[in-house]
Structure formats: C-alpha cells, structure tokens
Structure 1
C-alpha cells in the first residue's frame, strides 16, 4: 500500500508539472508525458496511465489506503494522511474525469452507508444505483455537453442490443468499436456486448463474488471468535490479533474495489491491469482469512459462485430497463 500511495503522489506531482508547463497546446511532465484535451489540460502519466481516466481511477482506489493508515497512525501520521488525501483530490480534479470524481465521492459515501445502514438499505441502494447513474447520464450530469450525454446513452443501448442479438459469444472481444464506432463508456455494458452471456457472467460474477465475500467479512465475520467460542473462552490471542489485522486490510481493499466498480460504470476499463492487481490482492486477503477461519470457505461454495453470476446481471437489467422505459 505504501508503494501504491507513493506512485499516486508521483503521478499527482507529475500532473502539477504538466499543468504548470502548459504552452497553449499541451504540458510536458516526467518522461515526456503530456496533457491531453488541449485547454482542458487533463493530466496523464506513462504506460497505461497515459490515459487520464486510468490515472484518475488509480487515485480513487488509493483513497481507502490513505484512510487505513490514518486510522492506525498517531498525530503526525494523521496530519500526513490528510495532506495526502487532499493531494489525491487535487490529482482527481486535474484528470478532468467526471467518472473518477463520482468514484471518489462514492467511496466516501458508501463507507458511511455500510458503516451505519442495515443490510436491506444497502441492498436497495446497490440495486437502485445503476438506475440513478443512468438517469444522471441522461441529463448530462457526467458529460460536458448534451450531445456527449446522448452519445454515451446511445453506446449503452447499442451495447445491450449487441448482447441481445449475439447472446452466446457477443460481438467478440475488441469489436465494440467496430460495431458502434466508439467505446461504451461503461465497462459492464462493454463486456456484455463483446463477450455475451457466458463471458459477462464470468467477468461480472468474479467481481460480485469478491465484493460479496468482502462485505460478509466486513459485516458478519469481522471478529475471529464467534459468540459460542467466546462463551467457551477458547481464545487464541495471537491468531485473533492477526485475524483482526487482516480484516482491516480486507476492508481497505473492499473499498478500493468499490472505487473501481463505481468508476467502471462510467468508463470502459473492463480489462485494465488495475482491476486484476487489486482483485488479486483482495482474493489473497480472503484466502489468508480462510486459513485462520476454515469455516469462511463456505462463502466460495459453488452455490455462491452461481448466485454471484446471476447477481452480476442486475446492473445490465437496470440499465436496459431505465433506457427502455424511462428515457
């Protein structure tokens, strides 16, 4: 996590250099990285972070890391983490990505929601969020112009039509632009249109399974001992301490992936390296917890896997119904 935060700060610093050196066409930063969008001065970095959307997504996914160290540190650490948090916010602003801006707000909002709301309210909001986001897009809330908003909705609708007409294999990976002319600006619709029902079920099911297990650990298995074991006083202090530390880490990775899932709704970043890296870290945390509490392995039972594949379709269904009925 230290490495991720350090990398994020380097990107923010590079972005500041880029904007400070703007010459009317572009600004230049480290390694000849340049801004994009001309007067918009959207910052970028090197490699696959040369796209402002990828850079912004990475900054959003680092916000929970900052919160993790803020909660564990002393006075100086807390001050430092607050400064880093403001730097990340500055970086998100410089990317000019409305999707990542919504993602950063959503991470903070969902943290307070999950911490204070019951399971039914959380479920209701999760189901209604895609509908609200689609309505937001229809009114231009995430686009700078009305035509941009309409183009985004057209891409979403066309993506679902690709799925309907090619339900088994989709139009093929990488062929969305061939069919529509532009990317979908929605990772879920993009995958469904390109890979069909089997492909999206695997992609979306893996995401939902990881997140659902993380949520259950956060709400139901956040302590090493169950009530029965606690009553019997079967206490292993060392294991209990290790378990609690791992739960805190698991919680942090959960909210990082929340940032990805929200921003992915407005960006076509379905196969970005960030997703696989952070999902890998989250899965590794799940496995470490399962070694300490073998009963947690039930959450990865085949029945749960099939359920998560089904749950993943709620996003596509909500978007389609909103576009078809409400707009």
Structure 2
C-alpha cells in the first residue's frame, strides 16, 4: 500500500513531533509534505486497485459535520476559515486516508503499532521529566507562557526562589521539571509533551488510551517479549497519568482498564479494575483543585448559555473563545455551543459510530477465525471508552488525535469487511434519538448544576 509511508510519517509527526527538537528543521512544512505524500500514495493505490471508494459507516456524518462547520464559520466568522478551516480540513482528510486507505489487518496492525510506539515515546519523555528535580525555567517577555522556556539549572521549590538574583532580570520564571530535549513541565510540575499534546490533560489521555493497544498485541501473540511490552506500556502510562496531575487522565485510565475487566468478569471484573487503578487514583491529582473546578463550572455554564442563545447555528466553528476567555473544556458542550443542535448531532453521530464499529464486532463476529477481529475490537472499544470519558473534560472535537482514532475505526471496519463481506454497522432512528435526547438531557442537567454551583460560590 503506497498510502502507508505518508500516513505513518504523518502519524509520527503529529504525535511525536521529532522535528520540534531539531532547530534547523523547525521551519520546514513537514505536515504539508507528509500530507501530500499520503494523498499521492492513496491515489496510486486507488489507480492500482489496492483500495476502492467503498464508504465506511462514518463517512456520511463526517461530510455533514464538516460542511456544517464551514457553513457556521461562513455565517458567523468568515475570516476564520482561512486558518481554522485549513487545519481542521487536514485532520478530516487524515481520517479519510486512514479509514479508506488502510484495508487489511496487516496494514492495520502496522498502523496501530506505530501509534503504540509514539505513545510509548511520549510516556517515556513524560516519566523521565517527572523524575527530575524542580528547577527554574526562564520565559522571555512576549513568549508564550506555556512554552518550554529555558531551564537555567537552579534548584527551586517555588517560582519565588527563581527571582532571587536571576540570570535574566527581564524574564518571567516558572519552577518546573526539565525533561529530555528541552521539554519542561507546566503548572508547577505537571508533565506534558509538545505540539498537539502540550496540555498535560491531553497528553495523559493520549497515553492512557494507548495502553489497550499493547494488550491487544500481547493477545495476538502471547510471548515474553510482548508481555514485557504490555507491562512497560502499562507502568509508563500509569506514571504519566500520575505525574501529569490530571484528574481526567485518572478516570480515562480507569475506564480503559474497566472495559476489559467488565467484559471478562462482569461486576467482579469492574471491582478488580478499580483495584488495579487504585495506585493511579491515589497518587494522581493535584493541589489547587477547587479553583480549577470552579473555573470549569463557569466554562460549562457559558457553553450551555451560548447554546440557549444560538440553538440553530451556535456561535460558529472555533468561535467559543470570542465569547469567553477560555474554551468549554467539554466536547459534549462545545459542539452545541459552537455548532447548534444539528452540529451537536452530527459530531456525536460520528463519535458514536466510531465506538459502534468495534462494539458490533464483539457482538456479531463469533466465528473461530474471527479471533483477530475480536481482539482488536476490545482494544478499540477500551480506548474509545477512555476517550469518551476524557473528552468530557477536554475541548477535543477538532483534535488530530480524535480524528486519527475515527480513521482507525473506519480502517478496522474495512479490514473486518474484507474477511466478512456481510458485516454491517447500521445507524437508525434509535441511534439518532439516543444521541439527540441524551446530550440534550446532559445540557439541561449542566444548566441547572452550573447555575446552582456558581450561585453558591
């Protein structure tokens, strides 16, 4: 498959961002180069008959969602289409190339192995960072306060110490962990990565949902090397979540474990999953949580109020921060706030179908020769369950990682259908009503809850 080299290069670039650590290459537009290579490879595969134009279950709703995003932007903020539209358009095309370019289990496992390798690298960087002592990090005036800055080697316990005889009197200082390749923590020691995963919450979720992939590879071939790989992934993932101080990351980690135990052992398995995740729950989290929680409540309140005021079109694609100083930090609220009712339903339909593909495999593929499909179905179901929980605390609707996993679900559908031609994933009125009524009920609950919470201080 000629599409694979470009797709794998794109995947490594988006996740691992290796060129961010090479100053001489920072100006090279690798995203567009690899994107063009992947598109060219897909066209070659199409010409040679190695792939076809058969659609995946997500495609119709993806097209509807993208068109609605651009329509709301055109009505509400046409000037934003040039930047926001291009970035989101690339994410959607990446979904399409994965979902319609990766058509065999061999290619699928190569792709999933690359995701696993990237998450292992990210977790290794984060764990190494978390094990380092705190030191002063200088941030130049005018530089983004969330940047990695420049560690100066002076030990510290708080930023106050860093202002005592500073090497650069004009710089702002943070007290952080300094990790590999100049990456530093944020918020007083919360580990993170760079690029699209520079937020500790997003980094911890991306790592946590990668753990089931390692278990799937072990199930595919039960040997000592793959068991060691799974244990390494599990431990590094757990430590990353702890060092990130992400409460959402803890719940994601618990959800990914819980799906496996619940499927195998039912209620006893759920209890066992909680026990396994207890160290992460006990050691994770961070101080100052009350202020952060109230801030999130305010964000949710604003999001629900915006949906009340603009129920049809919303405030427009990527326009939430034009009405509030922070984003919603909740994907289930951000979609209706920015895109109105139809945009909410379209986005949730795409997300639900991403989950429904592996869910349908677990229920309908019962043949002995379907063991590979069932293994990967459980892995994807576990990862997507974690993501479904994680995006309750994140504005993730347009994020590259989400659209990569939507593409993975489509590729998995194509691989299963290649071996089982009668395999189908349906979307009917029950799905539509469940999505529409369910999320509307959530918004009504949040409307009451956030109003009372803010009123009580």
TM-score between both structures, scaled by the size of structure 1? 0.78
Query: Are 2:216 and 1:68 aligned?
Result: yes
Aligned to 1:55: 203
C-alpha separation in 2, matches of 1:142 and 1:295:
50
Secondary structure in 2 aligned to 1:26?
Answer: strand
Alignment deviations for residues 253-275 of structure 1 (CA, whole Å, 9 cap, x no partner)? 22111111110011122211111
Aligned to 2:397: 270
Long gaps (5+) in structure 1? 123-140, 225-239
The structure with the greater share of residues assigned to helix is 1
**Which residue of 291, 296, 308 maps to 1:147?**
291
Structure 1 80/290 Cα, relative in aligned 2: closer, same or farther at 3 Å?
A: closer
C-alpha separation in 2, matches of 1:289 and 1:177:
41
C-alpha separation in 2, matches of 1:28 and 1:266:
26
Aligned to 2:65: none
C-alpha contact 1:189 1:316 (8 A) present in aligned 2: no
C-alpha separation in 2, matches of 1:29 and 1:61:
23
Aligned to 1:308: 431
Structure 1 188/295 Cα, relative in aligned 2: closer, same or farther at 3 Å?
A: same
C-alpha separation in 2, matches of 1:100 and 1:265:
11
C-alpha separation in 2, matches of 1:318 and 1:16:
36
Structure 1 95/146 Cα, relative in aligned 2: closer, same or farther at 3 Å?
A: closer
Secondary structure in 2 aligned to 1:84?
Answer: helix
Structure 1 322/51 Cα, relative in aligned 2: closer, same or farther at 3 Å?
A: closer
Aligned to 2:115: 4
Aligned to 1:194: 338
C-alpha separation in 2, matches of 1:176 and 1:322:
17
Long gaps (5+) in structure 2? 1-111, 136-155, 157-174, 271-284, 453-457
Aligned to 1:103: 252
C-alpha contact 1:64 1:255 (8 A) present in aligned 2: yes
Query: Are 2:155 and 1:43 aligned?
Result: no
TM-score between both structures, scaled by the size of structure 2? 0.57
Structure 1 294/76 Cα, relative in aligned 2: closer, same or farther at 3 Å?
A: closer
Alignment deviations for residues 45-99 of structure 1 (CA, whole Å, 9 cap, x no partner)? 2221222122111111111112213333224432442232111100111111111
Secondary structure in 2 aligned to 1:296?
Answer: coil
C-alpha separation in 2, matches of 1:56 and 1:316:
29
Structure of larger gyration radius: 2
Structure 1 77/289 Cα, relative in aligned 2: closer, same or farther at 3 Å?
A: closer
Alignment deviations for residues 92-137 of structure 1 (CA, whole Å, 9 cap, x no partner)? 111111111111011212333344559xxx9xxxxxxxxxxxxxxx
Comparing 251-260 and 273-282, the one that deviates more:
251-260
C-alpha contact 1:254 1:282 (8 A) present in aligned 2: no
C-alpha separation in 2, matches of 1:53 and 1:295:
40
C-alpha contact 1:143 1:149 (8 A) present in aligned 2: no
C-alpha separation in 2, matches of 1:21 and 1:309:
51
C-alpha separation in 1, matches of 2:330 and 2:129:
28
Comparing 28-37 and 143-152, the one that deviates more:
143-152
Deviation of the 1:143 alpha carbon: 8.4
The alignment's C-alpha RMSD in Å is 2.6
C-alpha separation in 1, matches of 2:297 and 2:440:
13
Deviation of the 1:204 alpha carbon: 0.7
C-alpha separation in 2, matches of 1:144 and 1:282:
38
Secondary structure in 1 aligned to 2:313?
Answer: coil
Deviation of the 1:276 alpha carbon: 0.8
C-alpha contact 1:157 1:320 (8 A) present in aligned 2: no
Q: How many equivalent residue pairs?
A: 283
Aligned to 1:221: 364
Query: Are 2:358 and 1:211 aligned?
Result: no
C-alpha separation in 2, matches of 1:2 and 1:142:
32
C-alpha separation in 2, matches of 1:204 and 1:4:
24
C-alpha contact 2:417 2:423 (8 A) present in aligned 1: yes
Structure 1 14/117 Cα, relative in aligned 2: closer, same or farther at 3 Å?
A: closer
Structure 1 16/87 Cα, relative in aligned 2: closer, same or farther at 3 Å?
A: closer
